[in-house]
Structures are given as C-alpha cells and as structure tokens.
C-alpha cells in the first residue's frame, strides 16, 4: 500500500537521507508561509529530536516506523513549552504547561513536530479565515479557502510541508478541509483518541484525528494515537488495525447513501453527478446500494450548532484573562472581564458564545437546548437502524466546492450550511473518513461506532474501484 511514512522510514534506515536533512528541508519549505499555514515553527525542538534519530541510526540501532517522521499540529493542542494560540488574540502569548495525550504518544513514537498550524480561532469556522494569522489559502487554488477549521493542517499535508498532521474535528473540521485540498482526513469514533490537551470547543463531538496522503499513513498514525487515557473518561481501549486487514473487504455487501443529500437543491450539479457515477461504479462491483432516509440538512445544521454553541459558551467561560490569556485591565473586575473577552475574542467566537448563552438561558433551554438533545438522540437512533441494513454509508463531503477567500466572512449562515453533510456523523459520534476521490471535494465513508477499521477497508477498496 502507498505510504509516505514507510518510504521515508526506509530512506532513513538505508542512510540515503538523514533525519536532520529531512527536517531542514521541511522547515525551509514552511518558512515562506505563502499559504498562511504556520502559526509557529518548532524548529529548535524539531532539529534537536532529528539529531537524536540520526545518532540512533549511526549507532546501528533499529528505529520505529514513525521515528524521524515530520508532522504538523493544529494550534489547538498543548505541546509543553510552545505557544498554543488557538489562532486568537486572547491566547497569542500563551505557552503550554503540558502536552496533549495524542501528541505525547507521537513524540514517544519518535515523530518530529515541525509546526503549530493555522486554524479558525478556537475551531470556530469552516474556512480557516477566522484567525489572527491571516486566511489559510487552498493548496490547489490559493484564491479559495483552505477549509476549516483544520485548514492549515490539510494544506500543509497537501503541499508536502508535513508528512501528516493532527487536526481536530467537531462538526467536520478535519473532513471538510481534507476534501477541499484532496487529501485523506479521518474523524475517528468519538473516544477512540483521548481529547486531553485539546482545547475544548464542543466536548460531546470533539475528536482528534490524522490528515495524510494515504490510507496506510492514516492507519499507522491512528494506531499510535488511539487508546484509553485516565485523563479523558470518554476514551476507550481499541484494537490495533493490522495492515493486512485492509485488503479483505468481503464482509462489505451493502452500501447506503442519504437520498435527501443528493436530491437537495443546494448541492452543486457536478458534485451530484460525480457522486451518482461513483454509486454506479460500486454497483458494478456487485455491491448492493440502498438509498436511505435521513434528517433534512437544515435540521442537522440547526441541531449541531445549537449544541455546539451551548458547549462552547460553557467551555470558553474560563477564558477571562485571570488565569491565562491576554488580560486588559479596566476600572473594576467585572469591566476587566468584559473588555478582555470583547476585545480578544473574534466576531465569530463572540457570535457562538452569545448564541450558546441564549439557548442555555432560563426560558429558552427547555424549548431550544433540550429539543437539540432530543434530536441528537433521534439522529443516533436513525444511524443504529441504518447500520442494521447497510455496512457502510457514503456521502459527498460538502454540497459545494470551496468558496473564494472573503465570501464566508460576509455570510456566516452560508458557512454553517457548508457543514450540512458532515455534522450528522459528528452528532452520531461515528468514524468517518474523507477520501480524495468521487467528487471535486471527495467522499465521506462512515461505519457504525467503533468500526474504524471497516471505514479504512472500504476506502482501500474504493481506491482501486473509482
């Protein structure tokens, strides 16, 4: 199977390149920052770790598969001693006091962190324009958005600035930018990877996941970062996914798709046509394809943003400049809190905090928030029913192609609706992978909870099929 990680590993083992040379090349490629993907280079740390890998190889010691492999980190993950800004004014001078579990596992495996990557501030956005570091530019067409909120991570992988990157997905924030930049992006089953050390946006759907250029690289990284963590009670133990297992797809007999996604007036004509062509290619392989009923896009988006805004209002209430953050002093403590938050939070973040506080407020919570929770339960029940009928669900990643930089900021509602095909799987807490095939912004492959392996299997099948 194709794998940049394996190719680089072999070059290091055969001493055809040194880890220091590799890291220096990647750092030099990142420094111009022409696509606004870089919040901070970790050059000193990266070169120090690279030298250790080179010494180990020179001494004839074996190295692990990820040892010496350069990677990027979305700037919402703690890495001890580095700036973790969340692309916000509030945290632009904040240094992490500890390291996120997923990142620590990669460091323990010998991977080399190169860069903290640009993203929508606190993950609030679908275009990576809501950032103090400038809008991330699409890897294919720099006049278009890079996607969000993990835009910098997806673009860095697409441009080969990093071998893989660790993004964060709440409502599509790995899958959508992966689709916009023609790379692979996985949102694992909720809880498969510890969230400890990831800045919380919406805790009930936040997921840690990899972005890479091949299914095999996704598998390798997923195996390393997965596992139960005492610091995250939602995490669980999971089996290693073996490389050979992805070759066996005989168990996949039936594939489903949501007909209302494809029949929607909002979908781009070419994306619809390409998706239907993909369906026919799957049928030609002897697999049964079923059209499924699902909630309307407006219901999915409304449910997701009701719950996500409520959770982000709660999670960001701690950011008032007292314990951390860019504090702005005023006449009294109450005014200090107000000015610190109003001046340092972006317009989009303030919009989500205000919306979240509204749906949680007395007189509204029963009518809005509790209704959102009830709809989320109905969505999960719908998925349980669907996966009794089909093995896999596929869908377009987005209803439309990437907008031009600036357009999303003018129309927040249109930005929210760009998540119409991703948020449902987030609410269901299901494993979902974007693959760079099938439509101009890729395809999503989804399986039942904890069945991440089946998602990767079908992706491998489709690589040869479409």
Give the DSSP H/E element, type plus range, for residue 185.
strand 184-187
Across the range 406-432, mean pLDDT stands at 92
pTM for the structure as a whole: 0.97
From the candidates 87, 88, 165, 173, give the one annotated as an active-site residue. Answer: 173
pLDDT value of residue 337: 85
CA-CA-CA-CA torsion sign (7, 9, 10, 14): positive
Q: What is the pLDDT of residues 98-136, one digit of tens each?
A: 999 999 999 999 999 999 999 999 999 999 999 999 999
Active site residue 264: no
pLDDT at 76 over 90: yes
pLDDT value of residue 362: 85
Across the range 348-357, mean pLDDT stands at 95
pLDDT at 413 over 90: no
Q: Identify the CATH number of the domain defined by range 4-245.
A: 3.90.1300.10
- Is 171:206 a contact under the CB 8 Å cutoff? no
- The pLDDT mean for the chain works out to 96
pLDDT at 273 over 90: yes
Place of tokens 């760009």: 418
Q: How far is CA 315 from CA 114, 116, 206, 349, in A?
A: 28, 22, 12, 12
Kindly state the percentage of the chain with pLDDT values over 70: 100
pLDDT value of residue 188: 98
Active site residue 149: yes
Q: Which of 76-80, 355-359, 365-369, 411-415 has the lowest mean pLDDT?
A: 411-415
Active site residue 272: no
pLDDT at 410 over 90: no
Most distant CA pair in the chain, distance:
72
Across the range 416-421, mean pLDDT stands at 92
pLDDT value of residue 411: 86
pLDDT value of residue 145: 98
The secondary structure of the chain, three-state, reads CCCHHHHHHHHHHCCCCCHHHHHHHHHHHHCCCCCCCEEEECHHHHHHHHHHHHHHHHCCCCCCCCCCCEEEEECCECCCCCECCCCCCCCCCCECCCCCHHHHHHHHCCCEEEEEECCCHHHCCCCCCCCCCCCCECCCCCCEECCCCCHHHHHHHHCCCCCEEEEEECCCCCHHHHHHCCCEEEECCCCCECCCCECCCCCCCCEEEEEECCHHHHHHHHHHHECCECCECCCCCCCCCCCHHHHCCCCCCEEEEEHHHHHCCCCCHHHHHHHHHHHHHHHHCCCEEEEECCCCHHHHHHHHHHHHHHHHHHHHHHCCCCCCCCCCCCCCHHHHHHHHHHHHCCHHHHHHHHHHHHHHCCCCHHHHHHHHHHHHHHHHHHHHHHHHHCCEEEEECCCCCCCECCHHHHCHHHHHHCCCCCHHHHHCCCCEEEECCCCCCCEEEECCCCCHHHHHHHHHHHHHHC
pLDDT at 324 over 90: no
pLDDT at 289 over 90: yes
CA-CA-CA-CA torsion sign (131, 134, 139, 142): positive
pLDDT tier, 397 (very low <50, low <70, confident <90, very high otherwise): very high
Across the range 203-208, mean pLDDT stands at 98
Higher pLDDT, 409 or 277: 277
Tokens of 106: 């990669």
pLDDT value of residue 49: 98
pLDDT tier, 4 (very low <50, low <70, confident <90, very high otherwise): very high
Other C-beta atoms within 10 Å of 272: how many?
A: 17
Tokens of 327: 């504090």
Across the range 399-423, mean pLDDT stands at 92
pLDDT value of residue 323: 83
Helix-then-strand count for the chain, H and E: 17, 11
From the candidates 3, 126, 128, 149, give the one annotated as an active-site residue. Answer: 149
Across the range 65-92, mean pLDDT stands at 98
pLDDT at 382 over 90: yes
């Amino acid at each position: 199977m194709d794998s940049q990680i394996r190719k680089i590993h072999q070059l290091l083992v055969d001493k055809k390149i040194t880890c220091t040379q590799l890291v220096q090349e990647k750092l030099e490629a990142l420094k111009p920052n022409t696509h606004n993907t870089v919040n901070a280079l970790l050059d000193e740390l990266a070169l120090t770790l690279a030298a250790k890998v080179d010494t180990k190889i020179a001494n004839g010691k074996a190295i692990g598969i990820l040892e010496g492999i350069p990677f990027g980190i979305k700037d919402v993950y703690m890495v001890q001693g580095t700036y973790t800004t969340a692309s916000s004014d509030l945290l632009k001078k904040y240094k992490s006091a500890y390291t996120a579990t997923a990142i620590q596992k990669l460091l323990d495996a010998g991977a080399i962190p190169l860069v903290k990557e640009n993203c929508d501030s606190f993950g609030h956005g679908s275009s990576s324009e809501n950032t103090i570091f400038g809008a991330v530019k699409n890897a294919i067409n720099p006049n278009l958005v890079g996607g969000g909120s993990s835009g910098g991570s997806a673009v860095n992988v697409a441009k080969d600035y990093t071998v893989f990157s660790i993004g964060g997905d709440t409502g599509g924030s790995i899958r959508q930018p992966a689709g916009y930049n023609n790379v692979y992006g996985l949102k694992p089953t909720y809880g498969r990877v510890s969230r400890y050390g990831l800045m919380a946006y919406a805790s009930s759907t936040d997921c840690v996941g990899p972005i890479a250029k091949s299914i095999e690289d996704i598998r390798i990284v997923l195996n390393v970062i997965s596992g139960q963590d005492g610091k995250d009670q939602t995490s669980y133990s999971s089996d290693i996914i073996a490389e050979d297992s992805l070759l066996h797809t005989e168990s996949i007999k039936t594939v489903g798709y949501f007909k209302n996604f494809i029949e929607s007036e909002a979908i781009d004509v070419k994306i619809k046509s390409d998706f239907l062509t993909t369906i026919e290619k799957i049928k030609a392989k002897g697999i049964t394809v079923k059209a499924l009923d699902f909630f309307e896009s407006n219901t999915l988006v409304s449910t997701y943003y009701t719950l996500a805004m409520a959770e982000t209002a709660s999670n960001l209430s701690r950011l008032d400049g007292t314990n951390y953050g860019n504090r702005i002093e005023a006449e009294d403590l109450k005014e200090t809190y107000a000015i610190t938050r109003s001046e340092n939070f972006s317009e989009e973040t303030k919009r989500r905090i205000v919306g979240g506080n509204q749906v949680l407020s007395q007189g509204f919570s029963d009518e809005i928030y509790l209704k959102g929770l009830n709809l989320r339960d109905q969505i999960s029940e719908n998925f349980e029913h669907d996966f009794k009928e089909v093995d896999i669900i596929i869908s377009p990643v987005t209803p439309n192609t990437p907008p031009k930089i600036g357009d999303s900021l003018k129309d927040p509602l249109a930005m929210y609706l760009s998540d119409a095909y991703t948020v449902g799987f987030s609410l269901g807490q299901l494993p979902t992978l974007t693959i760079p095939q099938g439509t101009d912004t890729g395809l999503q492959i989804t399986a039942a909870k904890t069945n991440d392996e089946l998602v990767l299997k079908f992706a491998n099948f489709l690589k040869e099929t479409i």
